[in-house]
Amino acid sequence: MDSKNLKYLIPSIILLILSAFGIFYIINHNKSVSSNTDIVAIVTPTIIPTPTIITIPTVSVTPTATSSTKIKITPTATPTATKKLTPTATPSASPTVTSKVTATPTLTPIPTPTPTITTITTSTPTELTFSSSTDGFSIVYSSSRKLYQDKESSGNRYTFYLTSGNFAVHVGLNGQWAWTTPNRDFSGNLVISGQNTYRYDTDAQTIVDIQYNGKNYTLQCVHNGKATLKAECETFLQSFKLL
């Protein structure tokens, strides 16, 4: 055989071999695919149970009214405090102020009533004496004063009027006094008509209490701090006589 032909024969043989090998491979591959397609996988689905819906009934609750008890509180009345005066008696008959109290007793003479004079006796040209058998006392006063007699809640009042300052005699009946004090303590520091007295002094006036034969006598001098009226007051007090 010619070498030129041999050169073409060998590649042809190789090509035939490869072709045969390719055909064999394709046939075997198709069989394999065909056998695989015959197998059918059966998958059983898992059944998920349907949930059951439970209806919860709505309960209507009616609230029960709670009774409330109302407590009525009755306020207790607060007593009104009364201011108390606690003066101290002076050791002598002189008008010395031993205790200063801002509150002044309510002793207001009436300056303009119609005068009712029981008995008037002229002792000197500048002095007059007044006496009352009803209330059992007598007293000497200056003729410059005018005498007025009237009633007050505690009893009788005798006012010896003067524009610069009035003097008065209050006669309390049925255990009453013309004024109120928490410490009416009678002592012998000032004795008038043989009786112990209770004396109370302020810058404006002097008050002396005497208790005798069921009557309460209050002698009052409104001197307003004037020296002349203070001196007249001492004479007025000492002239008081129980009948």
Environment class of residue 33 by beta-carbon count within 10 Å: exposed (0-12), middle (13-18) or buried (19+)? Answer: exposed
Residue 69 belongs to a domain: no
Task: Answer yes or no: is pLDDT of 84 > 60.
Answer: no
- pTM attached to this predicted model: 0.52
Residue 208 belongs to a domain: yes
Residue 36 belongs to a domain: no
pLDDT given at position 105: 59
Residue 83 belongs to a domain: no
Q: What is the mean pLDDT of residues 99-114?
A: 48
Q: What is the mean pLDDT of residues 127-140?
A: 96
Q: What is the mean pLDDT of residues 227-240?
A: 97
For residue 149, give the CATH number of its domain: 3.40.1000.10
Q: What is the mean pLDDT of residues 114-139?
A: 76
Residue 46 belongs to a domain: no
Residue 128 belongs to a domain: yes
Structural domain of residue 167, as residue ranges? Answer: 119-242
Residue 155 belongs to a domain: yes
Least-confidence region, from 1-5, 178-182, 201-205, 227-231: 1-5
Least-confidence region, from 10-14, 76-80, 137-141, 150-154: 76-80
Q: Quote the number of domains for the chain.
A: 1
Per-residue pLDDT of 44-74, as tens digits, reads: 444 444 444 433 344 444 444 444 444 344 4
Residue 94 belongs to a domain: no
